[in-house]
Structure 1
Amino acid sequence: MDIGGERKVPYTLSNIEKCMCSLCPVQADSKCAQNKLVNSKKVMEQMPKGEVPKPEDIPGIYCSTGRATCQDLNPEKQCICNTCDVWKGYNLGEGKPSQYFCQNGRAI
Structure 2
Amino acid sequence: MSSENDTDSKVPYKRSNIERCMCSQCPVQADSKCAKEKLQSSKKLMEGLPAGEVPNPEEVPGIYCSTGKATCQDLNFDRECICGTCEVWKEYGLEGVDPNNHFCLHGRAT
Q: TM-score, normalised by structure 1?
A: 0.88
1:18 to 15, 20, 23: 20
**Residue 97 of structure 1, CA deviation:** 7.0
* AA at the equivalent of 1:46: G
* AA at the equivalent of 2:25: L
Aligned pairs for 1:1-108 (under 5 A) are 8-95=10-97, 99-108=101-110
* AA at the equivalent of 2:18: I
Unaligned runs of 5+ in 2: 1-8
Unaligned runs of 5+ in 1: 1-6
CA contact (8 A) 2:84 2:95 kept: yes
Number of equivalenced pairs: 103
Separation in 2, partners of 1:78, 1:96: 11
Q: TM-score, normalised by structure 2?
A: 0.87
**Residue 93 of structure 1, CA deviation:** 2.0
* AA at the equivalent of 2:39: L
Q: CA RMSD in A?
A: 1.9
**Residue 103 of structure 1, CA deviation:** 0.7
CA contact (8 A) 1:97 1:105 kept: no
* AA at the equivalent of 1:11: Y
Dislocated runs of 4+, deviation >2 Å: 95-99
Separation in 2, partners of 1:93, 1:66: 18
